[in-house]
């Protein structure tokens, strides 16, 4: 008789976004005239830039010609893309990463959830709290986390590292030494960053204790301030303790095209065994490569035109973030993030819980955001707004907040 992987039953329901959708649908049904502004979305809204569209058209034409048609992509991804990434994302920043340490994929979500497969089930993971849920859920499915404690909102065998205003949203080094440490900067959901010296402390800690840092830099392209590392490989010794994930999704609007990559240094090992061959084996066995046309589209964002166009898109989202963040601050809110990331993380009004504030914003200002408690217990009392909407809606939302304060 077939049986199931019972670890899946340990996952609490995907309560956050389904509850939000239900609440918004119920409100809309009761108030069909309401002009709801959605600042909860984590998806981009700007179309692909012209350089990407040109590359797609050209490569689609190539696929229709016998002389230039391509079938399966090489296991690690096409060399033209890996060479460009190694040069522009790493060597240009002084990071010693070679093209064959780059694994091209269909995005960071798949990679940061699948990477745990190459580690033993006895590894203990540490995550930031609040957290991008994929890190925890993928480890739950693998059976690495123990049971969920409903009252605490935590899995019993996971080290949760609180990230709050008190520690600048950078976790303190935990007392118990984790085997795998998930870090994500610029951070989702808090929109905050880690400074180079702070990240170096984590690298030093991991090296000393034989831990591996799984570094999610999906929002790297939004970094606008000096002193914020664009890659963990800017830190000394990171090649000995880190894996990095990057995504074209938020960088260049590829959420629908799907492209990302993972960097595993050849010298990186765990328990005396190299990790590169394991991931190469996993990649080759379970994945058949991002489409040729998408890899060509990815290459195009590194061209002169592509780079300028993508920067302009990001500047537009960061301008929305500034509008929202400045507007909230002027209205008296405590606000974080939004400078090097498309996320604004705010304290709720008058000590409301995250969900109370969700209802308050929906019912009084017709604004939808995401309750911080949905990302982990330390998110309680916080709320996430995103800058992925239009400028018009960002301005309109702040007008409503101002109206709320003055009435
Ligand atoms: N990592 C973080 C922190 C994210 O917030 C997201 C998407 O929201 C992803 C990864 C997923 O990226 P991709 O679209 O490349 O799968």
* Per-residue model confidence (pLDDT) at position 15: 72
For the packed helices 304-330 and 50-63, what is the interaxial angle rounded to 10 degrees?
140
Determine which residue's CA is closest to atom 2 belonging to ligand 1.
218
The answer, yes or no, to whether residue 204 has pLDDT greater than 70, is yes
Residue 9 CA, ligand 1 centroid: distance in Å: 24
CA distance 129 to 248: 25
The answer, yes or no, to whether residue 407 has pLDDT greater than 60, is no
The tens digit of pLDDT for each residue in 79-92 reads: 999 999 999 999 99
**Residue to substitute in 104, 137, 188 for testing ligand 1 pocket (most ligand atoms within 8 angstroms of CB):** 188
Q: Name the band, by pLDDT with cuts 50, 70 and 90, for residue 406.
A: low
* Per-residue model confidence (pLDDT) at position 14: 72
Q: Name the band, by pLDDT with cuts 50, 70 and 90, for residue 97.
A: very high
User: Which atom number of ligand 1 is nearest to the Cα of residue 184?
Assistant: 3
**Residue to substitute in 128, 132, 186 for testing ligand 1 pocket (most ligand atoms within 8 angstroms of CB):** 132
Q: Name the band, by pLDDT with cuts 50, 70 and 90, for residue 404.
A: confident
Flag whether the pTM goes above 0.85: yes
Determine contact, residues 184/343, Cβ cutoff 8 Å.
no
* Per-residue model confidence (pLDDT) at position 13: 79
The alpha carbon torsion through 385, 387, 389, 391 (nearest 10 deg) reads: 120
- Residue 210 Cα distances to 3, 139, 142, 264, angstroms: 36, 20, 22, 16
* Residues forming beta bridges with residue 274, ordered by sequence position: 269
Best CA proximity match to 235, nearest among 395, 68, 95, 340: 95
> What integer is the mean pLDDT of 197-210?
98
Residue 218 CA, ligand 1 centroid: distance in Å: 6
Positive or negative: CA dihedral 280, 132, 23, 335: negative
Give the whole-number percent of the chain exceeding pLDDT 70. 99
Determine which residue's CA is closest to atom 8 belonging to ligand 1.
42
Write out the H or E segment, with its range, that includes residue 214. strand 212-216
The alpha carbon torsion through 270, 274, 275, 279 (nearest 10 deg) reads: -150
> What integer is the mean pLDDT of 369-395?
96
Residue 111 CA, ligand 1 centroid: distance in Å: 10
How many CA atoms lie less than 13 Å away from 282 in the CB half-sphere?
Answer: 19
3-state secondary structure 56-91: HHHHHHHHCCCCCCCCCCCCCCCHHHHHHHHHHHHH
Determine contact, residues 366/360, Cβ cutoff 8 Å.
no
- Residue 79 Cα distances to 54, 295, 306, angstroms: 20, 10, 19
CA distance 77 to 104: 5
Burial class (CB in 10 A: 0-12, 13-18, 19+), 336: buried
CA distance 218 to 132: 11
The answer, yes or no, to whether residue 221 has pLDDT greater than 60, is yes
Provide residues with CB under 6 Å of ligand 1.
Answer: 42, 107-109, 132, 184, 188, 216, 218, 247, 249, 255, 260
Residue 33 CA, ligand 1 centroid: distance in Å: 34
The tens digit of pLDDT for each residue in 237-264 reads: 999 999 999 999 999 999 999 999 999 9
**Residue to substitute in 247, 252, 258, 342 for testing ligand 1 pocket (most ligand atoms within 8 angstroms of CB):** 247
- Residue 310 Cα distances to 46, 85, 96, 228, angstroms: 10, 15, 25, 20
- Residue 300 Cα distances to 16, 186, 230, 262, 358, angstroms: 36, 24, 20, 19, 40
Determine contact, residues 185/193, Cβ cutoff 8 Å.
yes
* Per-residue model confidence (pLDDT) at position 130: 97
Residue 40 CA, ligand 1 centroid: distance in Å: 15
Residue 386 CA, ligand 1 centroid: distance in Å: 14
Q: Name the band, by pLDDT with cuts 50, 70 and 90, for residue 16.
A: confident
> What integer is the mean pLDDT of 114-131?
98
Mean pLDDT in the chain?
96
CA angle 194, 373, 32 (to 5 degrees): 120
CA distance 342 to 67: 43
* Per-residue model confidence (pLDDT) at position 31: 96
Q: Name the band, by pLDDT with cuts 50, 70 and 90, for residue 405.
A: low
> What integer is the mean pLDDT of 335-347?
98
The tens digit of pLDDT for each residue in 148-180 reads: 999 999 999 999 999 999 999 999 999 999 999
Residue 241 CA, ligand 1 centroid: distance in Å: 22
The answer, yes or no, to whether residue 341 has pLDDT greater than 60, is yes
Cis omega (within 30 of 0) for bond into 189: yes
């Amino acid at each position: 008789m077939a049986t199931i992987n019972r670890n899946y039953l340990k996952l609490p329901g995907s309560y956050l976004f389904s509850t939000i959708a239900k609440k918004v649908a119920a409100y809309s049904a009761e108030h069909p005239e309401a002009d709801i502004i959605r600042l909860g979305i984590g998806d981009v809204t700007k179309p692909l830039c012209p350089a990407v569209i040109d590359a797609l058209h050209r490569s689609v034409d190539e696929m229709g010609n016998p002389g230039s048609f391509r079938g399966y992509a090489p296991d690690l991804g096409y060399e033209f893309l890996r060479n460009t990434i190694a040069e522009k994302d790493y060597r240009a920043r002084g990071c010693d990463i070679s093209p064959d340490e780059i694994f091209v994929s269909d995005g960071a979500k798949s990679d940061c959830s699948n990477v745990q497969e190459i580690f033993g089930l006895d590894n203990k993971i540490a995550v930031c709290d609040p957290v991008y849920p994929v890190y925890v859920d993928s480890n739950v499915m693998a059976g690495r986390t123990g049971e969920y404690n409903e009252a605490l909102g935590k899995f019993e065998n996971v080290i949760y590292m609180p990230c709050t205003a008190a520690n600048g949203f950078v976790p303190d080094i935990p007392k118990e030494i984790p085997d795998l440490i998930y870090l994500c900067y610029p951070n989702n959901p808090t929109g905050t960053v880690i400074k180079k010296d702070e990240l170096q402390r984590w690298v030093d800690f991991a090296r000393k204790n034989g831990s591996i840092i799984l570094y999610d830099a999906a929002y790297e392209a939004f970094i606008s301030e000096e002193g914020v590392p664009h890659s963990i490989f800017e830190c000394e010794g990171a090649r000995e303790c880190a894996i990095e994930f990057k995504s074209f999704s938020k960088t260049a609007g590829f959420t629908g095209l799907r492209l990302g990559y993972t960097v595993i240094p050849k010298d990186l090992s765990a328990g005396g065994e190299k990790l590169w061959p394991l991931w190469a084996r996993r990649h080759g066995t379970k994945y058949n490569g991002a489409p040729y046309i998408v890899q060509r589209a990815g290459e195009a964002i590194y061209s002169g035109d592509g780079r300028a166009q993508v920067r302009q898109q990001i500047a537009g989202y960061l301008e929305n973030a500034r509008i929202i963040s400045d507007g909230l601050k002027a209205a008296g809110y405590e606000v974080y993030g939004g400078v090097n990331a498309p996320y604004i993380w705010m304290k709720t009004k008058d000590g409301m819980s995250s969900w109370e504030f969700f209802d308050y914003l929906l019912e009084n200002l017709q604004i939808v955001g995401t309750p911080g408690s949905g990302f982990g217990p330390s998110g309680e009392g916080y709320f996430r707004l995103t800058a992925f909407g239009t400028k018009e809606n960002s301005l309109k939302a702040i007008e409503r907040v101002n109206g709320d304060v003055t009435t």
